[in-house]
């Protein structure tokens, strides 16, 4: 009689067979955002302008601040003190994604607008060939619920600010692509997904772990879908 249980025998066979590799890909809608602290005067200036004309001019300012090649639609004059990306001491304007008064930076896929695909591949190389399709383009939240995936929802801790401007670059496409190595077949119950809630309320995909090990994100491939600006007061 074998001294091993059926489960132990299965694990032994899987170990002898050698490692298996799976690619996890997550895509959908998301983007990149910068949260910028404003002075009261900057808030009042830009908020009044947005309420009357929309956000086109402030978007133009943000994307053109570095080279200062502005093409405003309705703004006749931009006082220097209203340029929240301008550093007077260094006489330099930062790009919107590196604002001098940044309080938080966001990038990733919106968890509630994401889909997941999982394929078995023949190695952990970037160009590994597919062996078998496991999951194809399933809604991420539904997949997690159906397969008891561990989801940890954190809140991104940001500096308190009375006046905040969010510059948002909307993107669509692939946001996560990583390969894991397993002993035996893929087990969704070993997945753990962390999301981060940002000041705008978005739950953005953060880290992914498998069997306690964080999966490296090899990078995504997204297309820009446009810019927008939101501004608010916390006082």
The whole-angstrom separation of Cα 87 and Cα 100 is: 7
Whole-number Cα distances in Å, 156 to 127, 140, 153, 161, 199? 34, 21, 10, 14, 8
Predicted confidence at residue 129, as pLDDT, reads: 85
pLDDT for the residue 55: 95
Instruction: Name the pLDDT band for 130 (thresholds 50, 70, 90).
Output: confident
Q: How confident is the model at residue 74 (pLDDT cuts 50, 70, 90)?
A: very high
Per the CB < 8 A criterion, the answer to whether 204 and 111 are in contact is yes
Residue 126 confidence (pLDDT): 78
pLDDT in the model for residue 178: 93
Kindly report, residue by residue over 134-144, the tens digit of the pLDDT.
999 999 999 99
- CA angle, corner 200, sides to 199 and 202, nearest 5? 100
pLDDT band at 12 (very low <50, low <70, confident <90, very high): low
**Backbone φ/ψ region at 28: left (φ over 0), alpha (ψ -120 to 50), beta:** left
Percent of all residues in the chain with a pLDDT value above 70, rounded to a whole number? 91
The end-to-end CA distance of the chain, in Å, is 75
Q: pLDDT by residue (tens digit) across 188-219?
A: 999 999 998 887 778 899 999 999 999 999 87
pLDDT of 17: 63
Task: Find out whether 165 and 229 touch, Cβ atoms under 8 Å.
Answer: yes
Q: What is the mean pLDDT of residues 59-83?
A: 91
* Residue 160's pLDDT band (cuts 50, 70, 90): confident
Report pTM: 0.82
| Residues of the chain above pLDDT 90, percent | 68
Mean pLDDT computed over every residue of the chain: 89
pLDDT tens digits, 39-69: 999 999 999 999 999 999 999 999 999 888 8
């Amino acid at each position: 009689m074998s001294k091993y249980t059926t489960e132990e025998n299965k694990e032994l066979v899987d170990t002898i067979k050698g490692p298996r590799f799976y690619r996890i890909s997550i895509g959908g809608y998301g983007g990149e955002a910068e949260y910028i602290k404003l002075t009261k005067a900057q808030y009042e200036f830009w908020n009044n302008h947005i309420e009357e004309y929309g956000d086109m001019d402030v978007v133009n300012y943000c994307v053109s601040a570095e080279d200062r090649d502005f093409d405003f639609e309705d703004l006749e004059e931009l006082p220097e003190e209203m340029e929240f990306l301008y550093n007077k001491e260094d006489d330099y304007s930062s790009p919107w994604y590196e604002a001098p008064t940044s309080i938080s930076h966001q990038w990733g896929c919106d968890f509630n607008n994401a889909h997941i695909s999982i394929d078995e591949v023949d190695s952990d190389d970037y160009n590994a060939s597919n062996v078998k399709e496991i999951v194809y383009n399933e809604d991420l939240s539904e997949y997690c619920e159906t397969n008891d995936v561990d989801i940890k929802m954190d809140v991104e801790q940001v500096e308190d600010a009375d006046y905040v401007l969010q510059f948002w670059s909307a993107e669509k496409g692939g946001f996560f692509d990583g390969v894991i190595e397993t002993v035996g077949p893929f087990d969704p119950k070993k997945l753990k997904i962390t999301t981060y809630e940002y000041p705008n309320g978005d739950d953005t995909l953060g880290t992914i772990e498998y069997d306690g090990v964080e999966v490296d994100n090899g990078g995504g491939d997204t297309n820009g879908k446009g810019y927008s600006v939101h501004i608010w007061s916390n006082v």
